[in-house]
Structure 1
Amino acid sequence: MLRFHRVTTLGLFLIFAWGSLPAVASAKPSEYQIHDVVHLHKDKTYSDVTTFDRTVLRATDIGDAGQFSTTFDPHNQTYKLLSAWVLQPDGQKINVPASRVLIRPSAAAQNAPGFVSTKTATILFPQVKIGSKVHAEVKVTTFKAYKLGYSDAFSAGIFHNGDVYVTLDAPASLPLSVGAQNGFQYTNKIEGDRRVIKGQYHMRGASPSLYENHMPNPLDLSPLLSVSTITNYLELAKDYYHLSADKAVVTPEIQALANHITQGKQGKAAARALYDWVTKNIRYVAMYLTANSSWIPHSASQVLENGYGDCKDHVVLLQALLTAKGIKSDPAIINWSNRNVDWPAPSVEAFNHMIIYLPEFDLYANPTDQTAPFGVLDYGLRNKQVLLVGKHPKLTRTPKVTPKEARFVTNGDIKVSRDGTIKGKAYVTMSPILESYLRYQLSNKENRQDAMKQALSVLPHYGFGHMKTTDPHNLDVPFRFSMDWVSRKALHVATRAFVLPDMPDFAPQDAPQQYLGEDTVRRYPVMLQPKDLHWHFTLTPPKGYHFKHLPPNVNVRNSVGDYVASYHFKGHSMVVDRELILKVRQVPAKQYDLVESIVRAVIDDQQSIVSLKKR
C-alpha cells in the first residue's frame, strides 16, 4: 500500500519541487507532519501507527483538511482510532470520538465488487477553519500476512510544506530491500537482533502555485522511501508463478472455445483471434495490483463463466486459450501509467498491472484494453520495466516508442466561396499505437458529435460538421475516419486578408499553447511523447480570386523535435504541408527553450495571414 495515497485524501498533492525557488518561500512554516511507526515481524505480519498533524492555512484547504482517510483490508487487517482532535485558533480543543469515524467500502472495492474487499475509515473533523490544527493517530494491524509479504512506500509532496518521518523495525534476520528517491533521507542499521530503518524528509519552498503543465507523474518527482520483503524481482516472479499454478488449465470447454474462435487459423493469426475474443467478451473489472491486493487469479474456467475479470484473470484466460492452440505465453507484470522513473528498490509497489507476452512472436499484448489492437501497447506501457513470469523468469523492458511508429496523417481540401463560406473535407489515418486513443474518444455517435464540435470550436473560423469512422470496436480493421465541415460566411472576402483556414485536428496531442508557461524559468521536466503528426491540405480561393502571396516556409529542428511547414501554388490554389515530429518522451527543465522554440513555431505558423487578389 502506498502511504502517499492517504496523504492525497488530505489534499497534500505529492509532487516534489526541484529547481530554483524564491528565497521567501523557504521561510514558510510546516503545514503538516506525518509519522509512521511500523513493527514488522518474522512471519511478515506487522502493525503501523500513523500520526498526522496539520495546520489549515488556506480556505481552499478546509474541505480536504476536514477528514483523514485510511484504507485497510478486514480479511487481513484491523483498524483502530487512537486519538483525533481539532485545536481551534482560540485554544478550544474538540475531541473526535470513534463514532465520528465513517467506515465504508473503499473506492476500489466499489469499483471491483467481489475482487477487492478493502474498506476506508474516514475521520470527520468538526468545525475546521483557517488556523485550525487537526490531529489523528490511527493503528492498522496486519494479523494475517499477505501472500507477497510486506511492501510499502512513504512519500512527501510539494504543494504544501511538511515533514515526513518513518520508523520501521524488523528482525535482523528478515531480508528487506530498502531504497529512496528524490532526497528522502534514511538510515538502515542492525541494533542487536533488530533491523531499524529511520527516514525523514522536510519539504520547504512549497506552494500550490508551483504546478506546471505537462509535468511528469507526481510519483516520479516525489521524495519517497520504499521498504519491502521482496528483495529481488525474480523472487516476485517465482512467487506469482506458484500462486497462479494450475489456473490456466485447458478444460474441454476452453479447448472447444479456442477451436471455435480460431476457425482453423494457426500461429499469429490464431493468437490475434483469441486476443480479440477476450478483449470483446470479458469485461474488465479494474483492480490495480498492490502489496495488499490478491495476487491469486481466478481459474480460466471461472473467468469464462463469469464473463468478467481483472487484469490477472484476462491474462489467465488468454493463456489457457493460447495453450489450447499450442501457443506459448507468459504473464508480464508491469506498471501501466505515465511514470518514467523505475522504483528505487525491489517492491511489489513497482507494478500495478499485468499483460501477456508471446515469446514465439516477441510481442506483448494488453487484453484488458478494449481499444488496443493485438500486439499494441499504449504509451503508458512503453519503455517500462516488465517482469516476465514463467519457469525462467526475466526482468526486462518493453520497447520504446519512436516517432515513426506513432504517425498521424490528416489529408484534406478546403474551399472558400465568394460569400466567405468555408467548406472542407478531410481523411485521417494513424498508426496502431495512436488508434486506441481515437477509438475510445470516437467510440459512439454522441462522442463523435461532441468531438467534432470541440475540434471546430478552436479553429480560426467556427463551423459545423460531421464525421464517419470505421468500426471503433473492430480491432482487426485499421481505424480511419473522414469528416466534412462548413463555416458559413466566416470570411470577409472583400477585405482580401484573413487567417489561413485550417482543418479540425484530432491528433492525440495537446494544443501548443498549453506548453507555454507564465514564468520564464521552467521548474520541472516537460512530458512529451514521441510521434509524427502530418497535416496536408489544398486551399482553393473564391472564383475569380487568387492568393497574393504564400505564408513563409518554416523549418525549426532541434533535439526535442522538428516543425516543418511548406507552401506552394497549384494553379490558383495553395497547397499546405505541415509536419510536427516529437522525438523524446521527457525534456529536462533546463532544455525547455528547445520545447518553446518548437511550439512557438507551430503557433506562429497557425496564425499565418493570407491575402486575396482578384484575377
Structure 2
Amino acid sequence: MTQGWKRWPVVLAMFACAATMAADGKAQKADTAPMRRETFALDYVVQADGTYVETRESTIKLLKEPGVDYMRQVTVGYSTSTEAVEVLEAYTRKADGRRVDVPKDNYQKSVEGGEGDGNPAFSDRTTLTVVYPDLEVGDTVGLKYRTTVKTPIFDDRFSTVEAFDEARYEGDVRVRIDAPESMQPRWKAWGLKESRNALQDDRRVVEWTWQNRAPVESERKDWSVYSFGDSPSLLYSTFQDNAQIAQAYGVRALPKAVPDDRIRKLADEIAKGKQGERDVAHALYDWVATNIRYAGNCIGLGAVVPRDTTFVLDNRMGDCKDHATLLQALLTAKGIESRQALVNASSSYTLPEVPVVSMVNHVINYLPGLDLYVDSTSDSTPFGSLPPNVAGKPVLLVGGPVAVSKTPAHADERNVHKVDVTMKIAADGSVDGTMSAQFGGMFAEMTRASLRNIDEETRKDLVSKMFQGHTAKGNIAWPDAKPLLDTHSLTADFQVEQLLPVPGAFPVRPPMYVPRPIESLAAQESDTAHPSACVGATFEETYRLEFAEGMQVIAVPPAVTLDGPALRYVATTTRAGNVVTIHRLLEDRAKGPICSAAFNADYAAQLKKVRANVQAQLVYATKE
C-alpha cells in the first residue's frame, strides 16, 4: 500500500476563497488544549440571486498561556471586490465578569492590490485584524462579525459545507440557514441535531445544534479517504444535482477557452512536426505543464472563473482553471476535442447526494478522442498519467451533455523501483562501490522532479554530501530529467574512506538516496481500522558485498518468503567465500485508489515481518 502523496485530514474547499477566522485553531486533547470554544453561532441569510449575509459569533475561553498568546490577534480575511466585513462585537469577558470592549484603535486592516491604479494579479484579499488588549488565563474572548457577499460565486445558487471535529471541545454550536423556499434548498447532516425547520414568509429556515463537551481524541491514523459521516458535518445546497454545478462553471469558463489568433499561432508552433491527434495533444500538454507555473487566484470571482488566456500567457502562470482553459484553447486550435472536468483533489472519492461546489475543487481536462484525462497543473506527471490524488475519482464533465464520469485508477504496474548495489569492503572499513537504479511510474516522476533543477556544480558535490562526515569521492549521473516521462534511471560510483567499523554490523540498505527503499516502505504505519488511499508497486533490491581477505562474515540476514493478499515478499541470501549476495523482491498488491481496512490489516501484519528482515544486520569481523 504505497503512499504516493500527502494525506489531507479533511475535505478542504479549495475552489473558493471564503472568509476565514484564524481563531478556529487546531483540535487538541481536552486536558491539554490551551483554549476551548464555549459557544459558536453561524447564520446564513441567503437571497434568491445567490448573495448572502454570513454572521459568525464565538466565545473562546483561555485556559493556558499558549492560548493567551494565540488569541491576542484574530484575523478575518475576505475578497475586497465581492465581499464586505464588519466587526459587530469584539470584547474580553474577564474572570470576575467584567466586559472589556476592544477599542476601535485596535483594529488593523490590510488590503492586497495592484500598483497604483493597476489591478492585483494574484489576490484582492483584505485582512481585518482585531488586537485584544490585556489578555490573561481565565478570560473569555468574544467576537461577532458579519460578511456580506455582494457577488455570489454562482448566480442564483448557494451551497456550503460545515464540519466539526469530535476531538475538540465545543460548548454550544448552532448553525442556521435562512433561504428562499423557491431555491429548493437541500441538506443532509451527520451528528448534528436538526432543532428547527420552519417555513416563514416563503423562506425556509433550518437550524442545527451540536455539543461536544467530552471530546475524544481520534485513534484514526489515516484520513486519506474521507466520507461525510466520518465526522459531525452538514451539506447544504440549492443546486438540484451535480450537472447544475458543471453548467454554472461552464457559463463563465468556456468562453475563455475560445482560441484567438495568438492561441492559434502558439498551437501551430508547439505542434510543428507532430502527426496524429495523440502526438499533437502530447506536445500541447507538455508545453502547458512545463511553461505555466501554478499560482492561485483569489481575486473576487477568480475562485471559479479562469483568467483570460492572454494574461496567463503573458505572465506564464495560472491556477488549475487557467491551466485547463489554456490547454482546451490550444487543443481546440488544433481541432482536438476536449472538455474540462471538475474533480475533488483532496480526500473524497465519492460525490455526496447533496451537490456542493466545494466537493469538486480542482479542474483537469478530458480528451474524448483519446479517452484520456490529463492534469497540466502537475509539472512532473507524464502525458497519459494522472497524479494519484485525482486518479480513480468521479468527475463532472463541462460542456456538451453534462455527465458524471470517472478518472481511471493509477496504473500500478508502471510503479517500479529497482536498485542494484555492489560494494567492495576493505579491511579498514573503506568502501568502493557502485549503484544503479531504475524507476517507473510514480517513482520516475518523483525522481525527475527532484533532479530536474540540479545544476552541474551541485551534481559534482552530491556524493561527498551524501557521505557527509566521511572522506568520500565519486560521481552520480542521470539522463536529462526535464522531459515528462514515466521512466528514469541513475548510476553512481563512490569511494568512502573508513565508512564501516571493523569489526561491526549494519543493516543492508541502499548507500545513497533513492525515493522509496524497501526499508522505508517497511517502516510506514498503516491504519488497520479504516480505508486509505493507495497505489500498488514493485520493489526490487540486489546487493553484492565483497569483503577483503582477512575478514569474515559471521551472520547474514535470513531468507524470508511471504505471500498474502496484500503483498508478496521474497528475500534470499547467498554466500560464496567472502562475497555475500542479498536479493529482495516486494510486490505491493494494493489495487487503488482505495484499500479497505481488511486489506490494510493484512498489509500491516505482513509489513511487520518485512521490517524485521530488512533491519536484520550483516555481522562481520577480522579473522583471528
Q: Shared fold (TM-score greater than 0.5)?
A: yes
Over 3 Å counting, the alpha-carbon distance change for 1:403 and 1:464 in structure 2 is farther
User: Is 2:289 aligned against 1:283?
Assistant: no
CA distance in 2, matches of 1:362, 1:172: 41
- Residue 423 (structure 1) shift: 3.1
Per chain length, whose mean CA-contact separation is higher, i.e. which structure has more relative contact order (CA < 8 Å, sep 6+)?
2
Q: How does 1:199-218 map to 2 (within 5 A)?
A: 199-206=208-215, 214-216=222-224
Aligned 1:170-209 pairs, distance under 5 A? 170-181=179-190, 183-186=191-194, 189-192=197-200, 193-206=202-215
Q: Which residue among 145, 158, 161 is the counterpart of 1:138?
A: 145
Q: Distance in 1 between matches of 2:25 and 2:350?
A: 21
Structure 1 residues 229-238 or 508-517, which shifts more? 508-517
Distance 1:169 1:553 in 2: 67
> Displacement of 1:325 after TM fit?
1.9
Structure 1: which 5+ runs fail to align? 18-23
Q: Which residue of 2 aligns with 1:164?
A: 173
Which residue of structure 1 aligns with residue 538 of structure 2? 532
Gap change, CA 1:586 and 1:257, over 3 Å in 2: closer
Q: 1:131 to 1:226 in 2, by over 3 A?
A: same
With 214-223 and 567-576 compared, the bigger mean Cα shift is at 214-223
**Structure 1 residues 594, 59: CA separation in 2 closer, same or farther (over 3 Å shift)?**
farther
1:477 and 1:532 map into 2 onto residues whose CA distance is 15
Moved more, 93-102 or 318-327: 93-102
Structure 1 segment 343-358 matched on structure 2, within 5 A: 343=352, 345-358=354-367
Does 1:127 find its partner at 2:116?
no
Name the CA distance, whole Å, in 1 between partners of 2:125 and 2:47: 22
SS of 2:304's equivalent in the other structure is: coil
Relative distance call for 1:508 and 1:500 in structure 2 (3 A) is: closer
CA distance in 2 between partners of 1:63 and 1:454 (Å): 41
Q: Larger deviation: 530-539 or 475-484?
A: 475-484
Call closer, same or farther: CA 1:478–1:70 in 2, change over 3 Å: same
Q: 2:26 aligns with which of 3, 13, 31?
A: 13
Residue 154 of structure 1: aligned partner: 162
Q: Give the match's secondary structure for 2:445.
A: helix
Are residues 1:391 and 2:400 paired?
Answer: yes
Describe the SS at the equivalent of 1:321: helix
Deviation at 1:8, TM superposition (A): 7.2
Deviation, structure 1 residue 522: 7.2
Query: Aligned partners of 2:18, 2:453: CA distance in 1, in Å?
Result: 34
Q: Distance in 1 between matches of 2:354 and 2:250?
A: 21
Q: CA deviation at 1:184?
A: 3.8
Q: In the alignment, does 2:391 pair up with 1:382?
A: yes
What's the offset of the Cα at 1:438? 2.7
Q: Contact 2:226–2:347 at 8 Å: present in 1 too?
A: no
Task: Give the distance between the partners of 1:444 and 1:245, measured in 2 at CA.
Answer: 35
Structure 2 distance, partners of 1:63, 1:504, is: 44
How far, CA to CA, are the matches of 1:469 and 1:532 in structure 2? Answer: 21
Contact 1:373 1:476 in 2 (8 A): yes
Do the aligned residues in 2 keep the contact of 1:427 with 1:482 (CA within 8 Å)?
Answer: yes
CA distance in 2, matches of 1:472, 1:230: 45
Paired with 2:219 and 2:132, the residues of 1 have a C-alpha distance of 28
Which of residues 447, 462, 481 in structure 1 aligns to 2:490? Answer: 481
| Aligned twin of 1:20 | none
Task: Report the alpha carbon displacement of residue 533 of structure 1 after superposing the two structures with TM.
Answer: 2.6
Stretch of structure 1 that moved more, 221-230 or 133-142: 221-230
- CA offset at residue 557 of structure 1? 4.2
Given residue 152 of structure 1, which amino acid in structure 2 is its aligned partner? T
**Contact 1:156–1:203, Cα closer than 8 Å, also in 2:** no
- How many percent of aligned residue pairs carry the same amino acid? 25
| Per-residue deviation, 1:133 | 1.1
Normalised to the residue count of structure 2, the TM-score between the two structures is: 0.83
- Picking from 370, 375, 390, the partner of 1:361 is 370
| Post-superposition offset of 1:327 | 1.3
Counterpart for residue 602 of structure 1:
610
- Equivalence for 1:318: 327
Could you give the per-residue CA deviations for residues 8-59 of structure 1, whole angstroms, max 9, x where no partner exists? 72253269x9xxxxxx979999644321011111122111110011112233
Tell me how far 1:217 sits from its aligned partner. Answer: 7.0
Residue 555 of structure 1 corresponds to: 561
Question: CA separation in 2, counterparts of 1:203 and 1:529?
Answer: 36
Shift of 1:527: 5.8
Distance in 1 separating the partners of 2:475 and 2:320: 36
| 1:75-474 to 2 correspondences below 5 Å | 75-105=81-111, 113-148=120-155, 149-162=157-170, 163-181=172-190, 183-186=191-194, 189-192=197-200, 193-206=202-215, 214-216=222-224, 221-266=230-275, 267-287=277-297, 293-340=302-349, 342-343=351-352, 345-401=354-410, 403-445=412-454, 467-474=476-483
Q: Given that residues 532 and 594 in structure 2 are in contact (C-alpha distance below 8 angstroms), is that contact kept between their aligned partners in structure 1?
A: yes
TM-score by length of 1: 0.84
Contact 2:93 2:100 in 1 (8 A): yes
Q: Distance in 2 between matches of 1:463 and 1:128?
A: 56
State whether residues 172 and 190 of structure 1, in contact with CA within 8 Å, keep that contact through their aligned partners in structure 2. Answer: no
User: Distance between the aligned counterparts of 2:462 and 2:45, measured in 1?
Assistant: 53
Q: Which moved more, 1:437-446 or 1:353-362?
A: 437-446
Alignment match, 1:21: none
| Bigger Cα displacement from structure 2, 41-50 vs 501-510 | 501-510
Query: Aligned partners of 2:249, 2:86: CA distance in 1, in Å?
Result: 31
Structure 1 residues 231 and 403 mapped into 2: Cα distance closer, same or farther (>3 Å)?
same
2:331 alignment partner, SS class: helix
CA contact (8 A) 1:6 1:70 kept: yes
Q: Distance in 2 between matches of 1:223 and 1:4?
A: 23
Does the aligned pair in 1 maintain the 2:122–2:298 contact within 8 Å?
no
The 3 A distance-change label for structure 1 pair 242 and 90 is same
Contact in 2 for aligned 1:12/1:159 (Cα 8 Å): no
Instruction: Say which is worse superposed, 213-222 or 38-47, in terms of deviation.
Output: 213-222
Q: How large is the RMSD of aligned CA atoms in angstroms?
A: 4.0
Matched, 1:568 2:574: yes
Unaligned runs of 5+ residues in structure 2 are 1-11, 114-118
Tell me the SS of whatever aligns to 1:200. strand
Q: Is the 8 A contact 1:77 1:141 kept in 2?
A: yes
